[in-house]
């Protein structure tokens, strides 16, 4: 687990990459018209998850630690980068509601595949701790921002 760069380096790199990933992703989803249907889908997440209080942080930590230990720490070593990325997408079928597919859901599946490849490359080039911190930070930031956007929309409704 501690293979790779020094621990402090991994934590710092994971944190910076988490922000560098979450902020442009949120901007694209929330501001670009090409992602309008995906925006609607993503803004439903706070309705399906309890994102009150500190829960965005706990959700991010649980996903970051749990998923990265499983996918990068174990499965990627056994299956390789590409198969692990595919399995990562399949495990997220509940979140993505992949029971029936449309263009938006295929796009989400492709996005998850690329994200998983990115996490896998972080493991290879930096280390597992960096992948964990990146995943946790990105998820927590995204959940906090989505919560704020949904709350703002609800407060504007008559």
* Residue 143 included in any domain: yes
- Residue 60 belongs to some domain of the structure: yes
In a domain, 2, yes or no: no
In the predicted model, is pLDDT for residue 2 greater than 80? no
| Residue-level length of the chain | 158
* H/E element, 122: helix 103-125
Q: List the one residue out of 120, 128, 127, 103 whose CA is nearest residue 38.
A: 103
Q: Does 38 score more than 90 pLDDT? A: no
Over residues 88-133, the pLDDT tens digits come to 999 988 777 777 888 888 888 899 999 999 999 999 999 999 999 9
111 by Cβ neighbours in 10 Å (0-12 / 13-18 / 19+) ranks as: middle
Q: What backbone torsions phi and psi does residue 22 show, to the nearest 5 degrees? A: -65, -45
Confirm whether 157 is domain-assigned. no
What is residue 114's three-state secondary structure?
Answer: helix
State the total domains in the chain: 1
- 25: domain range? 7-152
């Amino acid at each position: 687990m501690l293979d790779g760069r020094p621990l402090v380096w991994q934590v710092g790199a994971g944190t910076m990459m988490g922000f560098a990933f979450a902020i442009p992703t949120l901007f694209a989803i929330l501001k670009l018209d090409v992602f309008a249907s995906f925006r609607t889908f993503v803004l439903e997440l706070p309705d399906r998850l309890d994102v009150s209080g500190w829960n965005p942080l706990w959700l991010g930590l649980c996903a970051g630690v749990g998923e990265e230990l499983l996918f990068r720490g174990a499965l990627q070593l056994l299956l390789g980068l590409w198969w692990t990325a595919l399995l990562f997408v399949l495990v997220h079928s509940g979140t993505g509601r992949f029971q029936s597919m449309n263009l938006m859901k295929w796009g989400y599946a492709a996005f998850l595949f690329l994200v998983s490849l990115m996490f896998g490359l972080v493991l290879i080039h930096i280390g597992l701790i960096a992948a964990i911190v990146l995943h946790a930070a990105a998820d927590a930031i995204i959940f906090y921002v989505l919560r704020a956007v949904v709350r703002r929309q609800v407060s504007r409704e008559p």
